[in-house]
Amino acid sequence: MLTRRHMLAGAAAAGGTVFLPYAARAAAHLGDMFETETGQITVHPVSHASFVMETPEMVIYCDPVGGAETYADYPAPDLILITHEHGDHYDLPTLEGLVQGGTQMITNPAVHDMLPDALRAKATAMANGDSGSVGGMSIDAIPAYNITEGRLKYHPQGRDNGYILGIDGFRVYIAGDTEGTPEMRALEDIDLAFVPMNLPYTMDVDQAADAVADFAPTYVYPYHYRGNDPAEFARLLGDTGVATEVKMGPWYS
């Protein structure tokens, strides 16, 4: 039987990469919906590298910054993921305003060491290569780092995380701040990816399109792209012929 993933990938293959402008739905918090084996995932882009993802089992916040009030219209988080300690990914006052009694956190070891005791008690440190689970969701910590001379100081190898989440047969890759590393290019069976593109901290749109073409997720969100053109990324990715659908979020609206 063909799954929804296979049907969508096949449809996209007929015309190459699909570029879908993302309407100004953020104000209503409708988000984009993706089907899993047991229900829907809804993605709400918030800003830059921050987003909220509702799954059939839990509500996940990724790299929430900007103050807890920014998230007032979203469901409270069951799980918060932190990729690394830079201020556009880790903000202690925001976390202190968001974390509730049942909230869990997963961070890279550097952020875990920075947390005050009360938050550290709710957090689990995952280093590159670690695997675990939260409820019925699997989670793998994927290396996120720079590989280009002159950028290595921003995200040194071994410190920062990306994450792969396994949600009811649906695999989500959150790249964090990284370039197109060998680990990224070797990924397989990714349904939804979040990939950064801004210099000098990560990569430009050409590098991002080339890397994404290698692992060819079913869907990809360009995010963390301030100063770059996500439409150009979509065009370049389309030129590669991969059957990946580009989703546009209101990250800077």
Within-domain flag for 193 = yes
- Residue 31: what pLDDT? 87
Within-domain flag for 21 = no
- Residue 253: what pLDDT? 77
Within-domain flag for 44 = yes
Within-domain flag for 22 = no
Within-domain flag for 85 = yes
pLDDT in tens, 118-177: 999 999 999 999 999 999 999 999 999 999 999 999 999 999 999 999 999 999 999 999
Within-domain flag for 233 = yes
- Residue 94: what pLDDT? 97
57: domain CATH number is 3.60.15.10
What is the model's pTM? 0.88
- Residue 212: what pLDDT? 98
Domain that holds residue 149: 32-246
53 backbone dihedrals φ, ψ, rounded to 5°: -130, 120
Within-domain flag for 163 = yes
pLDDT in tens, 141-155: 999 999 999 999 999
The domain tally of the chain equals 1
CA-wise closest residue to 49 among 208, 251, 202, 212:
251
- Residue 30: what pLDDT? 72
Q: Pairing mode, if any, of strands 40-47 and 50-54?
A: antiparallel
Within-domain flag for 201 = yes
Between CA 253 and CA 237 the distance in angstroms is 23
- State the Rg of the chain over Cα: 17
Instruction: Going residue by residue through the chain, which has 253 residues, state the pLDDT in tens, using 9 for 90 and above.
Output: 223 333 333 333 333 433 333 333 344 447 899 999 889 999 999 999 999 999 999 999 999 999 999 999 999 999 999 999 998 999 999 999 999 999 999 999 999 999 999 999 999 999 999 999 999 999 999 999 999 999 999 999 999 999 999 999 999 999 999 999 999 999 999 999 999 999 999 999 999 999 999 999 999 999 999 989 999 999 999 999 999 999 999 999 7
CA-wise closest residue to 50 among 32, 66, 59, 62:
62
